[in-house]
Amino acid sequence: MFDNFFNLIFGWIMNLGNPWNIIVMSFVLTFIITIMYKLLTDQILLKELKTQVKNHQKEMRNHKNDPQKMMEIQKKAMTLNLKYMKHSMKPMLFTFIPIILIFGWLRNHPLIGGKDILVWGFKLPLLGTGLGWLGTYILFSIIFSIIIRKFLKVY
């Protein structure tokens, strides 16, 4: 349905050949998602919430011998975590449908579909002899996400 549109935008990436096309696609999409996340969230609030949760975790370690005090601190930390998650949902809603459409295009792309992208030459239990496009995408998107978030100071 969106093949022509995605071929126009991402076609140059597919011409790089395996595994580079998936690695570059992973970087581009992770970068776009991270930028969206940064723009659509209150980074100051998220940093503050994260700091408070870390402080509560330190307090919980200090009170590990007092179960009642630990439960009280844990309840506060859970409330903060819930608030953090609530603020993180907005960018996910904006990026979810485009990502699903792009994944559908990738799955059906003739240069990618149905073959191992990263091949290691021996058989591993549960993984076989290599990773397909989705496994390769997930692996590299995790790596790129950590690096990009550190570089852009996204909380």
For residue 118, the model assigns a pLDDT of 87
Residue 66 located in a structural domain: no
Query: Average per-residue pLDDT in the chain?
Result: 90
Distance of CA 82 to the CA centre of its chain: 19
For residue 64, the model assigns a pLDDT of 81
Average pLDDT over residues 26-41: 95
For residue 97, the model assigns a pLDDT of 92
C-alpha distance across the termini of the chain, in Å: 35
Sequence-ordered strand ranges (E) for the chain: 118-124, 128-131
Considering its fold, how many domains does the chain have in total? 1
Residue 111 located in a structural domain: yes
Residue 113 located in a structural domain: yes
User: How far apart, in whole angstroms, are the C-alpha atoms of residue 30 and residue 102?
Assistant: 13
Checking if the pLDDT of 126 tops 90, the result is no
Residue 53 located in a structural domain: no
Residue 30 — pLDDT band, cuts 50, 70, 90?
very high
Residue 144 located in a structural domain: yes
Average pLDDT over residues 43-48: 92
Residue 49 located in a structural domain: no
Q: Is residue 102 within 8 Å of residue 28, measured between CB atoms?
A: no
For residue 149, the model assigns a pLDDT of 95
Checking if the pLDDT of 114 tops 80, the result is no
pLDDT digits (tens, 9 = 90+) for 51-110: 999 999 898 888 888 888 888 888 998 999 999 999 888 899 889 999 999 999 998 888
Cis-peptide, bond into residue 67, ω within 30° of zero: no
For residue 39, the model assigns a pLDDT of 93
Q: Is residue 111 within 8 Å of residue 18, measured between CB atoms?
A: yes
Q: 12 is in which domain, residue-wise?
A: 3-42+89-152
Q: What is the pTM of this model?
A: 0.82
For residue 70, the model assigns a pLDDT of 87
Residue 61 located in a structural domain: no
Residue 62 located in a structural domain: no
User: How far apart, in whole angstroms, are the C-alpha atoms of residue 28 and residue 99?
Assistant: 12
